[in-house]
Amino acid sequence: MGIGKKSKNLGDMTEGKTKETAGKALDDRSLEGKGKAEKAKGKVKQAVERGKHSFKH
């Protein structure tokens, strides 16, 4: 996995976690849900990249 893609995926997860936490603090279920979705998207992308890497070697 390239460092750029890994950084982007980690950024998605971090941004999602931030939105999720802010949503909980502000009692904004919409923001909290968006944060959870974004965090999950980052995790899925990272898992896909790891899978691609394992097939290459």
Residue-wise pLDDT for 2-49, tens only, equals 777 788 888 889 999 999 999 999 999 999 999 999 999 999 998 888
Model pTM score: 0.78
Phi and psi torsions of 2, nearest 5°: -70, 150
**Residue 39's pLDDT is what?**
95
**Residue 1's pLDDT is what?**
59
Phi and psi torsions of 28, nearest 5°: -110, 95
**Residue 24's pLDDT is what?**
97
**Residue 57's pLDDT is what?**
62
Rg (CA), the chain: 13
**Residue 30's pLDDT is what?**
97
